[in-house]
Chains A and B, each alone.
Chain A
Amino acid sequence: MGSSSSTQHHFAFQNAEKAFKAAALIQRWYRRHVARLEMRRRCTWSIFQSIEYAGQQDQVKLHDFFSYLMDHFTPSSHNERDFLNRMFIEESFSQDSEMERDSGYESIEVPDSYTGPRLSFPLLPDHATALVEAFRLKRQLHACYVLNLLYEAKKHLVQLPNINRISTCYSEEITVCGDLHGQLDDLIFIFYKNGLPSPKRPYVFNGDFVDRGKDSIEILMILFAFMLVYPKEFHLNRGNHEDHMVNLRYGFTKEVMNKYKIHGKKILRTLQDVFRWLPLATLVDEKVLILHGGVSDMTDLKLLDKLDRHKIVSTLRCKTRKDSDKQAPEPEPEPEPKQAGPTGPAEKPVPWFLPQSRSLPSSPFRLSSDRAPKASRSCSIPCSGPLDRKELSRRVRRSVDLELERCRQQAGFPATREKQEPPLAEAEAEADAEAEAEPTRGEWRQVVDILWSDPMAQDGCKANTVRGGGCYFGPDVTEQLLQKYSLQLLIRSHECKPEGYEFCHNRKVLTIFSASNYYEVGSNRGAYVKLGPALIPHIVQYQANKSTHTLTMRQRISRVEESALRALREKLFAHSSSLLSEFKKYDTNKTGSISLSDWAAAVESVLHLGLPWRMLRPQLVSSSADNTLEYRSWLEDLAEEQLSHENIQSSLLETLYRNRSNLETIFRIIDSDHSGFISLDEFRQTWKLFSSHMNIDITDDCICDLARSIDFNKDGHIDINEFLEAFRLVKQSCSEGDTSDCP
């Protein structure tokens, strides 16, 4: 009836309205949930990036240390000289003759019991395919074949120009892949999804094939094999990780020594040689330039084309000679009058790793001039503006002399008898003698720039202090370069991106990164790009891990986040003492507590990571009712998590922790025969030199005690791996399991 139907209507209307409101509420709640996940994802990404780059800065400090010792230290005894020689002499240039005489593999026998892949030369496509299949099944290639393949690879590489020119007219599309970093799964996936290389399917691999991941050597074998089989269609560019100095730190050296216990050293020596013959860039149809890092405002493709690329053994440390020694081409007229120009003939070379702003930041929107381009990166090496080169050089020399003297005395070496200007004359004479073997500073910088630079959003070109090499280049630099050489696109890699790729500079620069799940399972996708005759980039993305597909976004983010937080807590622990002092400053009433806001400020001022600490705070500090933190017990909790070796007292542990990567690198350099052992004496001397350079306050007794406690077998030698295992997180402990009495 009338009234009942209107009541029904009324109820119906009310119910509908209720449902509407309920739905709206749920949606509102859900959208907030998603937003918080997104924020967590971004913060996690920031953590990984800032820690990664802070690690690279550490590397710079280390080489800072080495380079000055190398250039200025005059050993006054035969022991000193030996010790330093172990650290510094690169076994490189004698390689060439050695390589010709005995490429090493002929004398190695492959036993009948070997079930891995067998190669014969010249390689056939089937061999290359068989390699991929064998590695997929986790077989290992015998050292004999590795060396043989490397030998053949080098023979081929030597014939290639610095800049490979390729064309799309012979094939459908060219596939360009970015960093792989030892992640074999990704390479196999790319071949699976895109097809194996062939004359119809050319590939360009844009550097950073090795380090970090666990299958770097296998990736190299596959890449070199295809390069030999399809020399016209398969191209490799050098990345900054194709460098034996970088490999010492980032895992490739370790991987090779682990997999090839007998012949590893020979393989590494050979690789050192092969890497420096890798081409520097690839040019497609004279229009698309592919190189690993980026460019600078000084990038000169003609010079790059002509220089002897094999003279640049490592981009991290390089003896160079003055530009005036060589008939260098006319330097390009500088567009920016403020820039420090290329080395003039009368000036002494200034080490590249010193901050030298090439131009002042130009954007009016910048809050402060010492902010790094990306919010998540921090700039711990002060970049206070361009200094006159002579003045800079003088200041640096003076402070280094003082420091060196202190180092020498601390390390127990006799003091120098007279004050002297650093023996540059001597260095020059030496340099002249080796003039043939060394690149000029200008040449070296050209290569460093293209292997290490990163794009930034602002115009201009400034030193890349985060990485310690190369520069940050702005859209104007890109534009300038593209116009100068009539190019239309720059493809580069070098930086991990959440989606595996990223366009910038008005889509004139494409970053392509092919190592998916780089920081952690679920952290990012990988991608490759295809270029057809129209040269329009077509991106393909992937994530080579089945398990991530079954995880929800929330779970994926949680896992990655956990990993990032673990790394961050380790970093916090490594700065416990500094944090404690900083906290105390805020605790004016000596209550033992500080506000959470002060906590955030203190942590940033100590760590300089540029992270959003207030956002991260709930994950790092359990909240209390009144928003304060008892900082001592918080630091103790951190320590408890990290301590896995009780014999080493915790303040020393903290210091060692902080410098762990650098120490490992130094050890591996000293351990020149890659035996995995260094003597107690070497350890003590190293630690002394290093700690005094880094201003670490440690008594002699402490060091001796430490050395003795690490010599677990009491045989006067320290097993490097054991020593480093002592500092692993409890959770990531070695496979033996028990970490409390270090095995």
Chain B
Amino acid sequence: MAEEKEREELAAAEFHKKIKEAFEVFDHESNNTVDVREIGTIIRSLGCCPSEGELHDLIAEVEEEEPTGYIRFEKFLPVMTQVLLERKYRPIPEDVLLRAFEVLDSAKHGFLTKEELIKYMTEEGEPFSQEEMEEMLSAAIDPESNSIHYKDYITMMAIDEN
């Protein structure tokens, strides 16, 4: 339908501006390229929540034939626009996140010990690096009980997300 198409075009135009802005924040040399290592940050800050695996696939799509370590805007824009139009890699709602913690909390304590958290985050799923683990611990762990009360933690994080 013509109306639908027009709406999509408008949406795409708006997405173009957003994508360009986010890209430029990392375009240090102002030559429409960013370091491939920053692409994950750009994609995620545009509202998407891909897994590491999904991210690697995306990067493969926007990389050069011979990977240079840099991603060009011309290749990134159409791919990213499509991602946004299709609403791929949607963020995770609070309740789903809560259930994930509850799965790990098999004893149903309402919290995970520091050791448990470390074990799961560094051995399961798409494991954290040591840096990522330390950073998460610094904010999540209640130093007195040495555990993470995940419900409170999620609520606290959600305030930021606004």
B162 touches A26 (CB 8 A): no
Inter-chain contacts of A162 with B (CB < 8 A): none
B29 touches A612 (CB 8 A): no
A39 touches B22 (CB 8 A): yes
Other-chain residue from A20, A21, A27, A363 in contact with B31 (beta carbon distance below 8 A): A363
Contact with B along A677-721 (1 / 0, CB 8 A): 000000000000000000000000000000000000000000000
- A374-B28, A614-B21 known; A39+B14 contact, CB < 8 A: no
Closest residue on chain B to residue A45 by CB atoms = B25
A22 touches B101 (CB 8 A): yes
**Closest chain A CB from B92 CB (angstroms):** 5
A23 touches B49 (CB 8 A): no
In the assembled complex, the Cα of A618 lies from the Cα of B81 at a distance in Å of 21
B41 touches A38 (CB 8 A): yes
In the assembled complex, the Cα of A531 lies from the Cα of B89 at a distance in Å of 49
Inter-chain contacts of A371 with B (CB < 8 A): 30
- B residues 125-157 touching A (CB-CB < 8 Å): 125-128, 132, 135-136, 138-139, 157
Cβ-based interface call for A429 (8 A):
no
A39 touches B21 (CB 8 A): no
B121 touches A23 (CB 8 A): yes
Inter-chain contacts of A457 with B (CB < 8 A): 28-31
In the assembled complex, the Cα of A458 lies from the Cα of B33 at a distance in Å of 13
Inter-chain contacts of A618 with B (CB < 8 A): 162
In the assembled complex, the Cα of A371 lies from the Cα of B32 at a distance in Å of 12
- A31-B52, A612-B24 known; A553+B138 contact, CB < 8 A: yes
In the assembled complex, the Cα of A36 lies from the Cα of B22 at a distance in Å of 11
A26 touches B125 (CB 8 A): yes
Cβ-based interface call for B51 (8 A):
yes
Inter-chain contacts of B104 with A (CB < 8 A): 19, 22-23, 26
B97 touches A26 (CB 8 A): yes
Cβ-based interface call for B2 (8 A):
no
A31 touches B125 (CB 8 A): no
B30 touches A39 (CB 8 A): no
B139 touches A554 (CB 8 A): yes
- A residues 14-59 touching B (CB-CB < 8 Å): 15, 18-36, 38-39, 42-43, 46
Cβ-based interface call for B18 (8 A):
yes
A23 touches B25 (CB 8 A): no
A614 touches B120 (CB 8 A): no
In the assembled complex, the Cα of A43 lies from the Cα of B42 at a distance in Å of 12
**Closest chain A CB from B52 CB (angstroms):** 7
Of residues B31, B99, B157, which shows the largest number of chain A Cβ atoms within 10 Å of its Cβ?
B31
Of residues B14, B21, B33, B127, which shows the largest number of chain A Cβ atoms within 10 Å of its Cβ?
B21
In the assembled complex, the Cα of A21 lies from the Cα of B135 at a distance in Å of 22
Of residues B25, B52, B106, which shows the largest number of chain A Cβ atoms within 10 Å of its Cβ?
B25
**Closest chain A CB from B73 CB (angstroms):** 9
A35 touches B126 (CB 8 A): no
Cβ-based interface call for A528 (8 A):
no
Closest residue on chain A to residue B40 by CB atoms = A35
Q: How large is the interface on B (under 10, 10 to 19, 20 to 34, 35 or more residues)?
A: 35 or more
**Closest chain B CB from A281 CB (angstroms):** 27
Inter-chain contacts of B126 with A (CB < 8 A): 24, 27-28
- A30-B136, A613-B21 known; A458+B45 contact, CB < 8 A: no
Contact with A along B32-71 (1 / 0, CB 8 A): 1100000011111100111110000000000000000000
**Closest chain A CB from B136 CB (angstroms):** 6
In the assembled complex, the Cα of A409 lies from the Cα of B128 at a distance in Å of 71
B25 touches A19 (CB 8 A): no
A29 touches B45 (CB 8 A): no
In the assembled complex, the Cα of A90 lies from the Cα of B106 at a distance in Å of 78
Cβ-based interface call for A129 (8 A):
no
A366 touches B103 (CB 8 A): no
Cβ-based interface call for B1 (8 A):
no
Closest residue on chain B to residue A595 by CB atoms = B14
Cβ-based interface call for A675 (8 A):
no
Cβ-based interface call for B95 (8 A):
no
In the assembled complex, the Cα of A363 lies from the Cα of B43 at a distance in Å of 27
**Chain A interface secondary structure, helix, strand, loop or mixed?**
helix
- A22-B101, A31-B44 known; A375+B24 contact, CB < 8 A: yes
Cβ-based interface call for A386 (8 A):
no
Inter-chain contacts of B99 with A (CB < 8 A): 22
A552 touches B138 (CB 8 A): yes
- A29-B92, A552-B138, A615-B25 known; A39+B45 contact, CB < 8 A: yes
Inter-chain contacts of A458 with B (CB < 8 A): 29-31
Inter-chain contacts of B28 with A (CB < 8 A): 374-375, 457
Inter-chain contacts of B24 with A (CB < 8 A): 375, 612
Cβ-based interface call for A606 (8 A):
no
Cβ-based interface call for A600 (8 A):
yes
**Closest chain B CB from A38 CB (angstroms):** 5
Contact with A along B99-134 (1 / 0, CB 8 A): 111011010000000000000110011111000100
**Closest chain B CB from A173 CB (angstroms):** 30
Inter-chain contacts of A18 with B (CB < 8 A): 103
- A23-B124, A24-B124, A457-B30 known; A34+B25 contact, CB < 8 A: no
Cβ-based interface call for A114 (8 A):
no
Cβ-based interface call for A633 (8 A):
no
Other-chain residue from B14, B42, B132, B138 in contact with A30 (beta carbon distance below 8 A): B132
Inter-chain contacts of A24 with B (CB < 8 A): 51, 124-126
Contact with B along A367-389 (1 / 0, CB 8 A): 10001111100000000000000
- A34-B132, A39-B22, A552-B139 known; A29+B49 contact, CB < 8 A: yes
Inter-chain contacts of B45 with A (CB < 8 A): 35-36, 38-39, 615
- A552-B138, A612-B22 known; A597+B92 contact, CB < 8 A: no
A597 touches B17 (CB 8 A): yes
Cβ-based interface call for B160 (8 A):
yes
**Closest chain B CB from A100 CB (angstroms):** 52
**Closest chain B CB from A706 CB (angstroms):** 40
In the assembled complex, the Cα of A615 lies from the Cα of B19 at a distance in Å of 10
- A39-B25, A375-B30 known; A27+B125 contact, CB < 8 A: yes
B101 touches A32 (CB 8 A): no
In the assembled complex, the Cα of A629 lies from the Cα of B58 at a distance in Å of 34
Closest residue on chain A to residue B10 by CB atoms = A597
In the assembled complex, the Cα of A299 lies from the Cα of B58 at a distance in Å of 47
Inter-chain contacts of A36 with B (CB < 8 A): 44-45, 160-161
Inter-chain contacts of A32 with B (CB < 8 A): 44, 48-49, 91
A554 touches B120 (CB 8 A): no
Inter-chain contacts of B103 with A (CB < 8 A): 18-19, 21-22
**Closest chain B CB from A622 CB (angstroms):** 9
Inter-chain contacts of B51 with A (CB < 8 A): 24, 27-28
Inter-chain contacts of B160 with A (CB < 8 A): 33, 36, 554, 558
Inter-chain contacts of A192 with B (CB < 8 A): none
A19 touches B124 (CB 8 A): yes
A25 touches B100 (CB 8 A): yes
Other-chain residue from A30, A33, A552, A614 in contact with B17 (beta carbon distance below 8 A): A614
Inter-chain contacts of A22 with B (CB < 8 A): 99-101, 103-104, 120, 125
Selected A-B contacts with CB under 8 Å, 13 pairs = A27-B52, A27-B125, A28-B50, A28-B51, A30-B132, A30-B136, A38-B45, A39-B45, A42-B26, A365-B31, A366-B30, A553-B135, A553-B139
Beyond the given A27-B52, A365-B33, could you list 9 further A-B residue pairs with CB under 8 A, ordered by the A residue number? A23-B100, A24-B126, A27-B51, A33-B161, A363-B31, A366-B31, A457-B28, A457-B31, A614-B18
The chain B residues found within 8 Å of chain A, CB to CB, are: 14, 17-18, 21-22, 24-33, 40-45, 48-52, 91-92, 96-97, 99-101, 103-104, 106, 120-121, 124-128, 132, 135-136, 138-139, 157, 160-162
A-B CB proximity, top 8 nearest: A24-B125, A23-B125, A35-B44, A365-B31, A23-B124, A457-B29, A39-B45, A22-B103
